[in-house]
Amino acid sequence: MAHHISIDIKEQFSITKRQKQFLLVIVDYFTRLVELFPLQTTMADVIANVNIDEVFCRYGMPTFILSNNGPEFIADLFTETRKALCIRRKLTAAYHAQTNMTERVNRTLKLQIRIYAQQNHQLWDEEIQKLAFTIRTSVNETIGETHVFLNFG
């Protein structure tokens, strides 16, 4: 994960016991590696900190971030942080969200979380990394490898 990443916020989740309600979805364009982060809020400072601490420090600095025009992604704080780190932004076309690679992941997650949430809708945030694991270790039909293999060998 590095050169070009796509980010999005998935909403409409049940509030969990740990007060998580949103899901930050980050996908690497080359390897299709997925990172998922349950959030209490979608404030720009929270998203910027998650990106820095959990993504950039682990995988390196991306050259581009693709996102929609959500308020959390165009907020001054997020924009200034991105500029300070020399990361360029690309926006998805209005009414054409499928250009953002996270949309495919969101469709997959929606089904998986719905199945899991039938059992206990207040714990989805505690199980989300297991769902991410299944995505990361599944062979991608387009690239013919798992996302983990392409990132870590």
Q: Which residue has the higher pLDDT, 56 or 115?
A: 56
Least confident of 18-32, 44-58, 84-98, 120-134: 84-98
**Looking at the 3D structure of the chain, how many domains does it have?**
1
Q: How far apart are CA 64 and CA 85, in angstroms?
A: 11
Domain enclosing residue 9, as ranges: 4-152
Confidence of residue 123 (pLDDT cuts 50, 70, 90): confident
pTM for the structure as a whole: 0.87
The predicted structure's pLDDT at residue 98: 56
The pLDDT of 90-96, averaged and rounded, is 71
User: Rounded distance, CA 28 to CA 51, Å?
Assistant: 13
CATH number (domain holding residue 28): 3.30.420.10
